[in-house]
Chains A and B, each alone.
Chain A
């Protein structure tokens, strides 16, 4: 496998509704900025791998009209219908094969133009879940209660994740939510689907992200410090919520395991300097700590309580503010990758983790974290 580096990236300043933008203008903006950030032009790009959602756009084959905005005209281009992190992994494969030198990864979501809850409601199969009006929030709520009940996790612990991430988001110029919240405020916020409270849930966001990958030879020739891709992994758990062990983020565990194996990470707490996790709901971050091996089963809340995953802790988690501060849906995982890359290359826009050398970025999809994609990046 040939070496692949992340040499450039850009994301929008995520907002509830970008009323002056279309999906095309969002894409065009982040692509241009990502290219500028590494001094490449679109003509230097061999392949564009993108992620988008037809249902979200209200448009079959979304790439029909976004392909030119992303610079895909007269290029190799392919769309991954999942989280942007998966598009990054596919782009990685293209370069690792030795057949491509550079790749542009693009992901975006403009939730303001439609009803975002329809995005997960339609993920439900038509026989047993759709007739019940089930959706992603309900699935997450069932999972949250499974996890919290099994390990005796109280609502203060999940609320503490929201407090931590909202505080981090305040320092991130790209985050949509830039005000801190207190524990009391979180616990006083109404349940959106018990036990999940409103202030523990990700917002509805318009935004986009683009990342430029390059073959090792080119990455080294560019006058930018790349973030090297040391390992990748992705995984899908079984589908029906009742057929899974909901108290575990199994897909994340396996995806991280695969990425760690390639990256030579055998002791995550010691070898990772930070993690960027996709926590659509606060409880998910606690489960993810366990899944990626930062602590043992059921110990996520304890780990949080020690301060180890706070901004000044041993393994800062979501110093970007995470999905709780901005959730441009399809782009959310790619944003985690851009954030992780910016930290290990010393090019973070907001708060930085001093001396960060290695990070894990995680993307999530499906009902209740059914799917996961992980990338380990290194200085």
Chain B
């Protein structure tokens, strides 16, 4: 019989564009200590550590986990780093999950971070492109996301329009106002978004995420320990990841197969047949507004092409029947290496009833999604109040 595991504590730093008062290890330490405190534990109680971070070129230190580990109390303990691009925050939590359900460790601390202010974000992103084929044309992440949005809009016009992307931006930026950790907290209108400066058409400034410094951490415990540490653990009910090659003929950025498969894997594990009905909310990785529509379809919250109808209906707003990104999402804070973990952290805290001002009432099952690479890596994690 497989062991169970749950998140029993979380911690994060307030996301801002520059945290010049701390070094990278100190930034991660801040989130880690908060997570431990939330779980009622000390560093000495942790059996193993996992660190997740984005390409090393962002902060300029190779194998940064070796430098950061001691700041978390990991000296003399098991430590490994996971590196899967944009999904890393989530895939490191998932690695932590396997650390526990393998039976090797009872309590694991997972931390993920980004300190983009130490380096140059767009240069770092452009260095992700293949030097043989793409690098000469690279223009960071918005370039790719712009192509994705264009493909999506072209396929589903006129049912889906640029205004639907703007509606996502309006919703999430407003949600962020109730999240004390969010970097951007804006009350804006669809007109504001449509009038904002073009970045990579059809993406405009207010369709895009910021660059942020920040860190997040979660404490994962096995069944026996979780029940003692907190009255409402967030149980891992379903976990799925999937990768795909960026160079095959049928790559579909507007309906990524890796996202569909990761979701299938997680739903199967969690015994979920009708996601929209059986889940209470979702946190998806919408670095760019249109992505929330695209992920909603690939995750099965609505049929392909109906993303526009979904956002327009208001059902995914706070107070609606299926809130998406009550935290404000990646549009409101994007410390790249941590962003995928923050989606899990937010979903887990909703299940734990600890989401404060942006708590959705009565959450029993919540989904966290992330994407990464050339829109080729996907993760889906489902948390439940019971297993």
**Given A94-B102, A126-B60, A238-B70, residue A59 in contact with residue B128 (CB < 8 A):** yes
Contact B241–A78 (Cβ < 8 Å): yes
Q: Which chain A residues in 214-268 approach chain B with CB under 8 Å?
A: 232-239, 243, 250-251, 254-255, 258
Given contacts A61-B85, A97-B98, A127-B23, 17 further A-B contacts (CB under 8 A): A61-B55, A63-B377, A64-B130, A67-B373, A68-B245, A68-B247, A73-B248, A76-B241, A77-B241, A78-B95, A79-B84, A81-B63, A82-B80, A98-B2, A236-B76, A239-B75, A367-B66
When the two chains form their complex, are residues B130 and A65 in contact, meaning their CB atoms are under 8 A apart? Answer: yes
Q: Is the CB of A90 within 8 A of B98?
A: yes
Residue of B nearest to A81 (CB): B83
- Least CB distance from A259 to B in Å reads 11
CA distance A83 to B51 in the complex (A): 15
List the A side residues contacting B23 at CB < 8 Å.
Answer: 127
- Tell me, yes or no, whether A132 is within 8 Å of chain B by CB: no
Q: A75 at the A/B interface (Cβ < 8 Å)?
A: yes
**Candidates B61, B62, B79, B103; contact of A119 at CB < 8 Å:** B62
In the complex, what residues of A have CB within 8 A of residue B65's CB? 81-82, 236
For A59, A61, A90, the residue with the greatest tally of chain B CB atoms inside 10 Å of its CB is: A61
Which of A59, A63, A371 touches B79 (beta carbons < 8 Å)? A371
Give B1-48 interface residues, CB cut-off 8 Å to A. Answer: 1-3, 23
Instruction: Please name 24 pairs of A and B residues whose Cβ atoms are closer than 8 Å in the assembled complex, sorted by A.
Output: A55-B57, A61-B54, A61-B372, A64-B373, A65-B130, A65-B246, A72-B245, A74-B257, A77-B377, A78-B94, A79-B84, A81-B65, A81-B81, A81-B82, A90-B95, A97-B2, A97-B101, A122-B61, A234-B78, A235-B79, A236-B75, A238-B75, A258-B78, A366-B66
Residues of B within 8 A of A238 (CB): 69-70, 75-76
A243 contacts across to B, CB distance below 8 A: 70
What is the bound-complex CA distance between A94 and B242, given in angstroms?
15
Proximity bits, A73-105, B CB within 8 Å = 1, else 0: 111111111100010011011101111000000
Compute how far the CA of A48 lies from the CA of B95 in the bound complex, rounded to whole angstroms: 13
User: Do B66 and A236 touch (CB < 8 A)?
Assistant: yes
Tally of chain B residues near chain A (CB < 8 A):
62
A133 contacts chain B at the CB level, 8 A cutoff: no
Indicate if B361 sits at the interface (CB-CB under 8 A). Answer: no
Residue A53, interface by CB 8 Å: yes
Per the bound structure, the CA–CA distance linking A96 and B104 in Å amounts to 9
B91 at the interface (CB under 8 A from A): yes
A270 at the interface (CB under 8 A from B): no
Residue of B nearest to A87 (CB): B80
| B67 lies within 8 A of A74 (CB) | no
A258, B101: Cα distance in complex, Å: 18
Looking at A58, A81, A86, the one whose CB has the most chain B CB atoms below 10 A away is: A81
Interface residues in B100-126 by Cβ distance below 8 A to A read 101-104, 124-125
In the bound complex, how far is the Cα of B95 from the Cα of A179, in angstroms?
42
Q: Which of A55, A78, A239 contacts B67 (CB 8 A)?
A: A239
With A64-B373, A365-B63 as contacts: A1 and B102 at CB distance below 8 Å: yes
Within B244-260, the residues touching A (CB, 8 Å) are 244-248, 257-258
B243 within 8 A of A: yes
Bound CA span A232–B103, Å: 12
* Interface flag for A123 (CB, 8 Å): yes
Interface size class, chain A: 35 or more
- Distance between Cα atoms of A370 and B66 in the complex (Å): 8
Task: Note all chain B residues with C-beta closer than 8 A to A131.
Answer: none
Question: Given A63-B373, A238-B70, does the pair A79, B82 have CB atoms closer than 8 Å?
Answer: yes
Residue pair B261, A74 in contact (C-beta under 8 Å): yes
The residues of B that contact A156 with a CB separation of less than 8 Å are none
B376 interface residue, CB < 8 Å from A? Answer: yes
> Which residues of the partner chain B approach A119 to less than 8 Å between Cβ atoms?
62
Residues of B within 8 A of A96 (CB): 102-104
Minimum CB–CB distance for A16 against chain B, Å: 22
Q: How far is the CA of A73 from the CA of B376 in the complex (A)?
A: 9
Evaluate whether A67 and B376 lie within 8 angstroms (CB atoms) in the complex, with A81-B65, A122-B61, A123-B61 already known. yes
Interface assignment of B56: CB less than 8 Å from any CB of chain A: yes
CA distance A58 to B130 in the complex (A): 9
The 8 Å CB contact of A235, one of B78, B99, B130, is: B78
Provide the bound-state CA to CA distance between A80 and B96, in Å: 12
Q: In the complex, what's the smallest C-beta–C-beta distance from A65 to chain B, in angstroms?
A: 5
Q: Which B residue sits closest to A366, measured CB to CB?
A: B66
CB proximity of A247 to chain B, nearest CB, Å:
16
Residues from chain B with a CB closer than 8 A to the CB of A53 are 62
Residue of B nearest to A93 (CB): B102
Of all chain A residues, which has the CB nearest B49? A236
Closest to A234 in B: B78
Contact B70–A60 (Cβ < 8 Å): no
- The complex places the Cα of A371 from the Cα of B66 at a distance, in Å, of 8
Question: A60 contacts B57, CB within 8 Å?
Answer: yes
- B1, B57, B78: which contacts A236 (Cβ < 8 A)? B78
- The docked-state distance in angstroms from the alpha carbon of A59 to that of B1 is 41
